[in-house]
Amino acid sequence: MSVTALLVPNATIVKEIPSIRFVWYCQTITAHVSQTLAAYNIALVDSIEQSYTDGTSRRQTAMQNFVVRVVRGNKTRHITLSSCIISEDESANSIAAAILKEFNHGGKLLTQWRDATTTLFPDNHELLDDIPKASDLSIGKLGFGSFMTTDTCSTAQKLRRVLNKHIQRLLEESGVSPEMINTYEADCWQHLRNVWFGAVSKELEKEIRDILAEDLKNLPDIYRIDLGIDDAFCCIEKVFGLSANYAKGQGAEFLTWFNELHPGGYLFPIMRACGGTRQDLCVEGAPAVLMNLPYYLQFLHWRISAMGARAKPFCRQNSTSFYAVLSSLHYYVCYQSSTFLFAFQYDGLLGRHMNWLNMTLDTTIWA
């Protein structure tokens, strides 16, 4: 209301602030409408050129997305059928069943749309003809020369095979000749790049462990220092992240300390490290950590020296061990190397090589 009063001071547009329940209700309606429109746009086309699916997790809950590329007229469009497909488990068969269920759900939304249109406009048959039927939204549209793109893990590769078998069976049951059914499988180049970066991260970690093996023996076991690179990024998000939802985190305290001691300074947003496995975490998260590292070390040193014996044992031990890891010169070099790869990646060099391979190789060989 205050914002509206500043923008339009002479008008009383907003009478009262909506409740949280009303906002949630509006979010549900928005999600329902967006899913219906996605199903509508996919049902209009005769075939789907390409499909993409990938998984992630939030709060220990695995979910999948399903995105398709369609051509309508002379324009190519990417449509997200759903960005939150939750399967019974994380096996390929369960994920495939969940994706098929999402297609059925989209068909039901189209049927509801048609029923509502018939009720509201009983004499307008042309309007009803513009809304596709539930049968028009079929995963069988992927069976006419389309690409199924996933990441490179074994579960994703099996998911492609399971979906291909279902598409072939569905089209054969509808009377399509087996000779006309043709699908391709492809690995996502973004994930292939992440696999390379994941291997780099493992080699860096192995090198650091070998170099610092003797030094670790001289440190007290009570600090429980570990040299895992990805684990370090998880700890950084837990300790310094403002939205990590970690009970022992110090994000709010760190932000207050930073604003008081470094007014006008800038904190680079850290990469999400908790809640999922990311092979490119070392590369994606390194630039922000490298820029924020002086502030991290100052804050940890302040906590260790200011709290002293008054701090709880686990807080003092965690701050000391974390300070020892972040202040290591070898870790600093690791962050620099990963930042170089990050710049190399987004400077376009790696992207240009991937695009060259994509355009040069014959489509059949590439698939």
- Judge contact between 48 and 69, C-beta under 8 A: yes
pTM (predicted TM-score)? 0.66
222 lies in the same domain as 120 = no
CB 132 within 8 A of CB 126: no
In a domain? residue 356: no
> Is 290 found in the same domain as 181?
no
- Domain boundary among the residues 157, 187, 217 is at 187
Query: What mean pLDDT do residues 100-119 have?
Result: 92
In a domain? residue 320: yes
Rounded to an integer, what distance in angstroms lies between the CA atom of residue 354 and that of residue 335? 25
123-148 pLDDT, tens digit each: 888 888 888 998 888 888 888 888 88
CA atoms within 13 A on the CB side of 162: 17
Verify that 103 and 220 share a domain, yes or no.
no
Q: Can you give the residue range of the structural domain that contains 344?
A: 199-351
Q: Are residues 69 and 120 in the same domain?
A: yes
75 with 153, same domain? yes
Is 236 found in the same domain as 166? no
**Boundary (domain end) residue, out of 155, 187, 219:** 187
In-domain check, residue 52: yes
357 within a domain of the structure (yes/no): no
Q: What is the overall mean pLDDT for the chain?
A: 79
What's the rounded Cα separation, in Å, for the pair 57 and 188? Answer: 19
pLDDT at site 330? 80
Rounded alpha-carbon distances, angstroms, from residue 63 to 56, 59, 275, 278: 6, 11, 12, 15
User: Cα separation of 162 and 32, whole Å?
Assistant: 28
Statement to judge: residues 252 and 151 lie in one domain = no
Q: Report which residue type is found at 38.
A: A
Instruction: Let me know whether 141 and 205 are in one domain.
Output: no
Residues 239, 315, single domain; the answer is yes
340 three-class SS: helix
Three-class DSSP labels, 23-83: HHHHHHHHHHHHHHHHHHHHHHCCCCCEEEEEEEEECCEEEEEEEEEEEECCEEEEEEEEE
Sign of CA dihedral 252, 257, 262, 263: positive
Are 38 and 148 part of one and the same domain? Answer: yes
Q: In angstroms, rounded to a whole number, what is the distance separating the alpha carbons of residues 7 and 136? A: 47
pLDDT in tens, 52-67: 888 877 767 788 888 9
How would you classify the pairing of strands 182-187 and 144-150? parallel
Residue 346: pLDDT over 80: no
The H or E element containing residue 183 is strand 182-187
Q: Domain for residue 359, yes or no?
A: no
Residue 246 has pLDDT above 80, yes or no: no
Tabulate helix, strand, coil % of the chain (nearest 5). 60, 10, 25
136 & 260 share domain: no
Output DSSP code: residue 181. Answer: -
- Asked if the structure places residue 26 within a domain, the reply is yes
Same domain, 166 and 231: no
Question: Which of the two residues, 237 and 262, has the higher pLDDT score?
Answer: 262
User: Span 255-283, mean pLDDT?
Assistant: 76
Q: With respect to residue 44, please indicate whether it lies within any of the assigned structural domains.
A: yes
- Domains contained in the chain, number: 2
Burial 102-139 (b: 16+ CB within 10 A, else e): bbeebbebbeebbeebeeeeeeeeeeeeebbebebbbb
Residue in the block written with tokens 């098929």? 100
The whole-number pLDDT of residue 359 equals 47
Q: Shortest CA distance to 186 belongs to which of 157, 164, 155?
A: 157
327 lies in some domain: yes
